[in-house]
Structure 1
């Protein structure tokens, strides 16, 4: 559970914990980039908010990849393998991240490869897939495949080739009773644990602290320079972060909630922020919203949609 940012927020608190049934998710909405070469660590150290040099085979990290103004192009889950680094990120942002990261390679001995077609990312929820499964946030195990523990209730990402994943799923089916889940449910679980994945519409809109990346241990304030570092550090040390991430719910509307939709004060109609990501599951629309925190949150929040849909922080 992450600490409150102000007296007005209960974001990420225990009532949001999921009671998960045993499920496997063949689709997680995520893609994978592999960074190979002697300068792979140096390249990533100069671009991502986390400290690449602190990563171990047993510990991954969430990170932000920022532009020069400190706005997050994409959030990433960075995993160190014996010969390379894996970058796990929303599939919607794969091409954008590849294009922008390759601009910084120059003469470095580093190659970025889209491995989405060669590697599969399996989602597991509601149970630990083996007795020695990793337990800490973003801890990594080999059980027998690379498996990353996600924050909150038992949830994991497992990486492998299609054949390895099929074999692993067969192994799980021989040991556990589980169901197969869908992409909407997996995204709902991500949102319920405040994992700040987002799509292209919200790229380059927020600094890392507004997305809770610091709360998840994904920002190093001592590692030195990286693209956008000056803005990120200044916001941290001068206390100028004016927005924060919250988990919210609203009734699903006929037209659906659009990521990027404004969130308004229901009384003054003043813009308070926007929807970062949302997913509907079991008749509930759960969303991550980035909201102003300077003067506290109003009690009556609505979406700036045709229905003026009420939305509540949970």
Structure 2
């Protein structure tokens, strides 16, 4: 049984779990690495924050892939298949993760494959229970494609070949009137449910707890050693995590928001943290911020940009 699968995203769920429009998202900003071989599980158990042995054909997990200092190189969604594991991650970090994971293969019977051209990742919103879709966070179903429930609002990722995806997408559009959604909207919904995807500008900058990976059930504190484990465990047991993840909003503007931009206290001009990731949709720029929590929830925040753009927290992890 997976550790701590409590839904910590209830504070920012949609008022109605099925309130999202029925949409198909051909682009999600995510790519896929397949890890195969007899030692695939052993390799991943020694590198990722989640407990690989807890995964099954019906349960995936989010995880962090850390460096030796406990800083997250990339967040991953780990899905177990019949003969291998799928690592779903931001497209911007695929080459980096492949290169760094291959350093740990050595003589192990494990192979890493970039499956970008073979396996496609489809985003779906509004896939109601009539499709027999999984309902629990990170649960896996087959309808008939591999389907993973994302936290919070009623959204799923579907994995399949190009032909399988095209056939299923055609069915959704013709029979159930699903519309097409944009990448910006999908990323906006990811941020709204505090899924901590980020690009290379934020790689190796934060420990997993700062990204809320523990709140999403993606850190095992009992499975044993993995790269960065000492720092992650020490931060947990000694209560030394001084930053946390927040969902924030600011008006959409032509200048946009830069990932990694500093966030300041507008009164003291003190740096309070940074923008992890952001997406603009429907006139609103929504962002995930990694902010100091030493003196309670931060207020009166602005971005350290040319416009000193005000940014307001709307929810925290």
Look up the match of 1:273.
273
1:197-236 alignment, distance < 5 Å: 197-236=197-236
1:197-223 Cα deviation digits (max 9, x unpaired): 000000000000000000000000000
Shift of 1:254: 2.3
Give the Cα–Cα distance (whole angstroms) in 1 for the partners of residues 211 and 149 of structure 2.
20
Preserved CA contact (<8 Å) 1:129 1:172 = no
Change (3 A) 1:300 1:15: farther
Alignment size in residue pairs: 307
Q: Which runs of 4+ in 1 moved over 4 A?
A: 15-18
Mark the CA change 1:222 to 1:300 in structure 2 (over 3 Å): closer, same or farther: same
- For 1:295, the equivalent position in structure 2 comes to 295
Gaps of 5+ in 2: 1-5
After superposition, the Cα gap between the structure-2 partners of 1:210 and 1:124, relative to the gap in structure 1 and judged at 3 Å, is same
Displacement of 1:126 after TM fit? 1.9
Separation in structure 2 between the aligned mates of residue 33 and residue 172 of structure 1, nearest angstrom: 27
Question: Which stretch has the larger CA shift, 55-64 or 245-254?
Answer: 245-254
The aligned residue for residue 124 of structure 1 is 124
TM-score, normalised to structure 2, is: 0.94
Separation (CA, whole Å) in 1 of partners of 2:146 and 2:14: 28
Q: CA RMSD in A?
A: 1.5
Displacement, 1:291? Answer: 0.4
Q: Residue in 2 aligned with 1:13? A: 11
Q: Distance in 1 between matches of 2:216 and 2:268?
A: 33
State the shift of 1:39 in Å. Answer: 0.1
From the superposition, tell whether residues 174 and 16 of structure 1 become closer, same or farther in structure 2 (CA, over 3 Å). closer
Aligned positions of 1:122-201 closer than 5 A: 122-128=122-128, 130-201=130-201
In 1, the alpha carbon distance for the partners of 2:143 and 2:130 equals 6
Q: 2:27·2:122 contact (CA, 8 Å) conserved in 1?
A: yes
Q: How far did residue 178 of structure 1 move?
A: 1.5
Greater shift, 129-138 or 206-215, is seen at 129-138
- State the Cα deviation string for residues 265-301 of structure 1 (Å, max 9, x = none): 0100000000000000000000000000011133200
**Which residues of structure 1 form unaligned runs of 5+?**
4-10
Q: Distance in 1 between matches of 2:13 and 2:52?
A: 33
